[in-house]
Structure 1
Amino acid sequence: WGQNLMHHPHVHAIVTGGGLSADGSRWIHGKQSKRRKPFFAPGKVLSRVFRGKFIDMLKRAFASGQLGFFGRLKSLGDEAAFEQLLNKSVRHDWVVYAKRPFSSPACVLKYLARYTHRVAISNRRLVELRNGRVSFRYKDYSDDQQSKVLSLSSSEFIRRFLMHTLPSGFVRIRYYGFLANRYRNERLEKCRHLLGVTSVPASTTTTKESQTPVENSDPAPSPKTCPACGRQSLVIIDVVSPTRPLPLRRPYFLTDRTVNSNCFDTS
C-alpha cells in the first residue's frame, strides 16, 4: 500500500543467495559480478520477464472467464477493449527493484513484518476525525519524502482502507523452491548438510528446572503444542479468564457478522 492509501498492488519476493542443483547433490551459489559482489539478475531483464509472464496470465484468465469487470471498468469485458489495454501495457517499462541483500535474518523479518502483520495505516498516523473528515499523516515521496497531512471524507477513507483488506482465504505469504511447504523440512536439511550448517533447535531457552534431571517423570507438554496434531504450531495471543471481560486493547473494525452479536462464556 501507499502512504496515502491509494491502490498500489505489488509483490515482494525474498530470493536466497543460491539453491540446490537439479539433482540435489550440490549447492549452487549466486553469481558474482565483475567486482566480486553477490549478483542475482539484471533489473531490466527481470522487468521484461515479469511483464511478459503477467500479461500472459491475464490473457489466460480472461479467456477462461476468471476475470470480472464492474463500474468504470465494465467496458473491459469486451475482448477487443481488453486486448487494447494489454497492448498498451506492453509498451511501458514495468518497475522491478532488486534490493541489496539484508544484513541479517532479523532484518528480513523486520522488513517483511511491515506488510505481513500490519494493516494499511497505523493509529499513530491518524490525526483527527472532525465534521465527517479523517486527517492522517503521510510521506510524499514525490516531494523529498516530506511529512504532510491529508484530509479525506470518512467514506473515502473507509473506501481506501478496504481496498487493502484481503479476500477471505487469500494466501498472503507463499513459498517456492526448496522452501515449498510440501518438501521444506527435507530440503532444508539437505541444504544445511551441503552448506555445513548445524540445524537450529526449535527452542534454545533453558532454565534451572530443565537442567535438573528428574527420575521417572514425563516432561510436561509445551503450552504451544497443538493437542490435535502434537506439533508446536500454536501461537498464544492471550489467555482470557472467564471471570473477567474480554480485554479491549485496541480499536476493532466491526463487520456485518460481528454487529449485534453476543459473547457467552461456556467454560
Structure 2
Amino acid sequence: MSLLKEAFERFAPDYLERYGQSMLPSHRRCLTDISSCQTDALDGSLHVCQSCGHEHYTFHSCGNRSCIKCHHLRTDKWLDKQQDNILPTRHFHYIVTLPSELRPIMCSNQKKSYKILMTSAFDALQKLASDPKHLGGKIGAIAVLHTWSRAMIDHPHVHMMIPAGAYNKDDDTWIRGREKFLVPIDALKSIFRAIFMKRMRKALPKQIFPQAIWKKKWSIHINTFDSKVENLLNYLGRYVYRIAITENRVLAVSQTTVTINHNGEALHLRGEEFIRRYLQHVLPKGFHKVRYFGIMHSAHKQTRNRIKLLLMNEVIIPDRPVKKKSTRCLKCSSTLILSISVLAPRNFNCQASVHPP
C-alpha cells in the first residue's frame, strides 16, 4: 500500500465523521469515493487464468477525478492524444500567478474566478501576439490549472504549454517567436492584470478588491523547451487527473501525522490538516481544469495540420514509448486471462491487483 493511500485510509473516516455534515457535497463525495476506491465497497472483477485455472479478484476504481488511486490509464491516454496534437517546434512553458492578496477571493468564488484566470492569461498573450510588432498571428496553448503550493496551501496559478510562434492565415505562414520569450514580458504582465481585474469586477460587482494588488508586480515565469517538449507534456500530464500531491512526496504516515516533502525538507501535518489541505483543491463539479486555446483548440485541427506541413524540418518530437498493459496470472504468469465483472461480496478477500497501477 502506498503511503498516500495509507494516509487517506487512516484519517479520512474520522474527518468525515467529524465534519461530514458541514462539508461541501463535492468534498464529501471525494472522501467517500477515495475511501471506497479499490475496496470491497465497490463492485469487483473475477479473473480466471485459462492456462492453470487460478482465480484472481480485483476491486473496481471509484473514478472520482480527485482520487489519489485512479486515472493512471486516463493520464496515459491523454498524453497519447496530446502527442498527436502538439506542433513540431520549440515550446514555451508559461506559469501565470496571482498576488497572494487575491487568494481568499479566488477560493470563495472558484468556478467564476478560476475560469477568468485561465482565459485572461491566454487572452493577454493573444492580444500581444496579434500585433505585427511582435508576431502578427494566432497562437495556441494547452492550459492546466493548479490551485496548490508545495505545502498544499491555496495558490492558484496556470501552467501553459505554448508553441513558440504564431500562424498568419492571410499569408499562410508560421511566424517564429523569439528565442527566450513569445511576447514582451512587462507588457504581458500589465495587459493580463488589466484583463483579469476587469473581468473579476464584472463577475463579482459587490466584491472589494485589496488596493495592494496594484502596487505589486504580478508574476509570470517562462521556461523554454527545444527538443525536450515531451518533458513539458509529461509534467502537465502529471496533474491532469490528480490534485495537490503525488505519491512520491509522502515520506511517512504515523498514527497522528502525515510527513511530506516540502522543497527538500520534511513538513509534518496533523492527519486532519492533511485531509483539509487536500480537499481545498477539489474543484467545483463540471469545472474544466484543462483548456485548449487558439490553434490548440479541437476546432483548429486543420490549422494544426497545415502548420505541421510548414514546420516539417523543425523539431522532431519523439513518439511516447508504448506501455504494455498485459494482465498476467499471479501463479503461472500466463497472459491468457478471462475477466468477468461481478458484484464484490462484502467479505471477499482481494488476492491481488491484476492490472498494473
Pairwise TM-score range, normalised by the shorter structure:
0.5 to 0.7
Give the equivalent residue in structure 2 for 1:52: 194
**1:88-127 residue CA offsets vs partner (Å, 9 max, x unmatched):** 3122111111112343332222221233244322233323
Identity rate, percent = 27
Rounded to whole Å, the distance in 2 between the matches of 1:191 and 1:132 is 55
Q: Partner letter of residue 12 of structure 1? A: H
Runs of at least 5 residues in structure 2 that lack an aligned partner in the other structure: 1-147, 322-336, 345-349
- Could you say what secondary structure the match of 2:166 adopts? strand
- Distance, in Å, in 2 between the alignment partners of 1:42 and 1:249 is 52
Change (3 A) 1:191 1:123: closer
Task: Kindly provide the amino acid, as one letter, of the partner of residue 160 in structure 1.
Answer: R
- Which of the residues 149, 152, 174 maps onto 2:291? 174
- Seen in structure 2, the aligned counterparts of structure 1 residues 148 and 195 have a Cα distance that, compared at 3 Å, is closer
SS of the residue corresponding to residue 295 of structure 2 reads: helix
Is residue 236 of structure 2 the alignment partner of residue 105 of structure 1? no
1:180 to 1:151, Cα distance in 2 relative to 1, 3 A: same
| Partner Cα distance (2:305, 2:233) in 1 | 21
RMSD: 3.2
Q: 1:152 to 1:102 in 2, by over 3 A?
A: same
The Cα shift of 1:249 comes to: 8.1
How far did residue 38 of structure 1 move? 5.0
Q: How does 1:67-82 map to 2 (within 5 A)?
A: 79=206, 82=207
Separation in 2 of the partners of 1:30 and 1:103? Answer: 16
The equivalent residue for 2:340 is: 242
Aligned pairs for 1:205-224 (under 5 A) are: none
- Structure 1 unaligned spans of 5+: 32-36, 64-78, 140-146, 206-238, 251-267
Aligned match of 2:184: 42
The question of whether the paired residues in 1 share the 8 Å contact of 2:250 and 2:259 is answered with: yes
Q: Secondary structure at the match of 1:60?
A: helix
Relative to structure 1, is the Cα distance of residues 24 and 59 closer, same or farther in structure 2, using a 3 angstrom cutoff?
A: farther
Q: Is the 8 A contact 1:125 1:136 kept in 2?
A: yes
Asked if the contact 2:149–2:155 (Cα under 8 Å) also holds between the matched residues in 1, the reply is yes
- With normalisation by structure 2, the TM-score equals 0.45
- 2:281 equivalent in structure 1: 164
Amino acid at match of 1:61: A
Tell me the secondary structure at the aligned position of residue 4 of structure 1. coil
The alignment of Structure 1 onto Structure 2 pairs a total of residues equal to: 183
Equivalent residues in 2 for 1:1-267, closer than 5 Å: 1-23=148-170, 25-31=172-178, 37=179, 39-63=181-205, 79=206, 82-85=207-210, 87-139=211-263, 147-183=264-300, 185-196=301-312, 241-242=339-340
Return the structure number with greater relative CO, CA threshold 8 A, min gap 6.
2
Are the structure 2 counterparts of residues 134 and 91 from structure 1 closer, same or farther at C-alpha, using a change threshold of 3 Å? same
> What's the offset of the Cα at 1:84?
4.6
**Is the 1:136–1:150 Cα contact (8 Å) retained in structure 2?**
yes
Q: Of Structure 1 and Structure 2, which has the larger fraction of its residues in helix? A: 2
**Do the aligned partners of 2:181 and 2:222 also contact (CA within 8 Å) in 1?**
no
Q: Report the CA distance between 1:162 and its aligned residue.
A: 0.9
Quote the Cα distance in structure 2 between the aligned partners of 1:109 and 1:117.
14
Return the index of the structure with the highest Cα Rg: 1
Q: Take 2:249 and 2:257, find their aligned partners in 1: how far apart are those partners?
A: 15
1:175 and 1:181 in contact (8 A); partners too: yes
CA distance in 1, matches of 2:152, 2:290: 21
Contact kept in structure 2, 1:102 and 1:108, CA below 8 Å: no
List per-residue Cα deviations over 1:209-229 (Å, max 9, x = no partner).
Answer: xxxxxxxxxxxxxxxxxxxxx
Contact 1:43 1:98 in 2 (8 A): no
CA distance in 2, matches of 1:156, 1:196: 52
Q: Does structure 1 conserve the Cα–Cα contact (< 8 Å) formed by 2:252 and 2:258?
A: yes
Whole-Å Cα distance in 1 between the matches of residues 261 and 171 of structure 2?
Answer: 50
CA separation of 1:50 and 1:131: change in aligned 2, threshold 3 A: same
**Shift of the alpha carbon at 1:9?**
0.6
Amino acid at match of 2:340: P
Letter in 2 for 1:241: S
